[in-house]
Chains A and B, each alone.
Chain A
Amino acid sequence: MKILVAVKRVIDYNVQIRVKEDNSGVVTDNVKMSTNPPDDNAIEEAVKIKEAGKATEVVAVSIGEEKAQETVRKALAVGADRGILVKTEGVVEPLSVSKLLQKIVEKEKPDLVFMGKQAIDDDCNQTGQMLSALLNWPQATFASKIEIKDGKLEVTREIDEGLETIEINVPAIVTCDLRLNEPRYASLPNIMKAKKKPIEQLNASDLGVDISPRIEQIKVEEPPKRKAGIKVSSVSELVQKLKNEAKVI
């Protein structure tokens, strides 16, 4: 079985983002970038399945600017066998990403495609579902547990009401929740080894997909600031304020 894992390069989750002064977007220059956190879970799960002898190859793919190569390289350092980078410029909407991934899937013919449930930059939560629609494959979103059972996957999904279990035929798309596993850190020897693993580079235009945006971003603004609060000196003052001023208890 072959697993394709899609990874996205995003601003690190520990960075306080800043809105550009001209409101055209968010400052990304000289900002620490990392792999989108749930994409780390997706890679980890694929590598674990391979280590358990149930997969033969894990391929990491990223769609983004040249520097997204670092994100692919990181996936290689934690156990992916080889990488693919589809180079794009500017904003690529999830619909376009899923169309590009569809082309990669047609070429690579994986049995499973894993990715994070959502990217923490645009917070769209669309790509996996869109890819599975385009391929007409089953989808298991927000996965917190995956079991492989003769040609099928039993997946536990995190839903608002609790947990849901579904069984899907392979080939399939799985989008991963943070609860799926604990991603490993890359060891230094593995980081060195990853430098020798191949990364195939393609241009989005080579794949014959129209990726022009359908959504115009008019402006990006800071969220409304909270007005400054007060410090209370005692618990009884706090309770009185909550009861009489804020009226929330």
Chain B
Amino acid sequence: MSVLLIAEHNNKELRPFTLNAATAASQLDNDVHAVIIGHKCEEAAKALSKLEFVKKVIQIEASYYENFVAENFAPVIVKLADNYSHIISSANTFGKNLMPRIAAALDTSQISDITKVIAPDTFLRPIYAGNAFATVKSKDTKKCVTIRPTSFDACESSGGSAPIEKAEASEEFSKTKFVKREEVKSDRPELGTARVVVSGGRGMQSGDNFKLITSLADKLNAAIGASRAAVDAGYISNDHQVGQTGKVVVPDLYIAVGISGAIQHLAGMKESKVIVAINKDGEAPIFSVADYGLEADLFEAVPQFLEELNKLNTIQK
């Protein structure tokens, strides 16, 4: 049976993780259908029809779909579910909010945040914030699965020519109203998806000293992270926290400055491709996961780092 992919979009464009979810969907079955629910989302539906792997697009429009309220989306997908063996979305806040509502309505035990498709009913998923990996097999006839976007490559955004079918909207759920969305407008990449992350820990000693981290992040076009210790000490706001109780990040380059490497922090960053640790304590646990460790006083090393970077003019934006 076919796979139903739930597209994430902003009514104009597809959100990038839809491309990763399409790749995951294609590993379950060749016949991937994608549903797009929104308001005046013609352009996004067209973009969806061009994706590699997508064989059919189902577009459903209503004014109350403009803001992606899960209570409105779930019944639409439940109505379509009969024709599909799997329902797939990204395990970001969109998919996390929506999929369990669908799974419960279908009486299916959802499988969250998979990092690998082993067989159409068997998946690999991290547990304990990635400190262990479980291989799980679903016994449900219909499977609701969310995928970890960074574990699947994005599919090609062109080449496909799937037909777009319209389907009927469901009734509005009137007990939930969207009020507003405040998107963080920053020149800085988002912590969860940044290619480079520079993080500071308790070793920064004060909030003021975090400007060293900021300068380094500016130079590398990086997102700014922090350990729980730095957040608890009030050096930086907790939306920067990387770790088991904060954000899990998987950048190409993670630079840990003045971070000792508590278990709970390591859980949030140790899947990064390249890890650099700068710490004056040579015994700090962070060095056990670092590809490149520099045992040095950060207040000397970071300014030097900036100087060296200034000498290079090849920083990728």
Contact = CB atoms under 8 A, between A and B. Distances in A.
Contacts of A238: 276, 292, 294, 305, 308
B244 A133 contact: no
Given A95-B103, A120-B244, A220 B132 contact: yes
B301 A161 contact: no
Contacts of A16: 131, 263
A163 B183 CA distance: 6
Contacts of A94: 100, 109-110
Given A125-B96, A179-B238, A218-B135, A161 B183 contact: yes
Interface in A6-52: 11, 13-17, 19, 26, 37-38
B82 interface: no
Contacts of B316: 249
Interface in B35-91: 69-71, 74, 91
Contacts of A168: 175-177
B137 A218 contact: yes
B281 interface: no
Given A17-B131, A235-B294, A248 B126 contact: no
Interface in B172-194: 173, 175-184, 190, 192
A216 B137 contact: yes
Interface string B223-245: 00000000000000011000011
A169 to B, nearest CB: 4
Q: Which of B111, B131, B246, B294 has the most CB of A within 10 A?
A: B131
Contacts of A165: 179-182
A153 to B, nearest CB: 10
Interface of B: 69-71, 74, 91-94, 96-105, 107-113, 122, 125-140, 173, 175-184, 190, 192, 196, 220, 238-239, 244-246, 252-253, 262-264, 270-271, 273-276, 282, 287, 289-296, 301, 304-305, 308-309, 312, 314-316
17 contacts: A13-B264, A17-B131, A26-B128, A95-B110, A123-B113, A131-B104, A132-B101, A133-B74, A137-B175, A138-B71, A157-B93, A162-B183, A168-B175, A179-B238, A218-B122, A249-B220, A249-B253
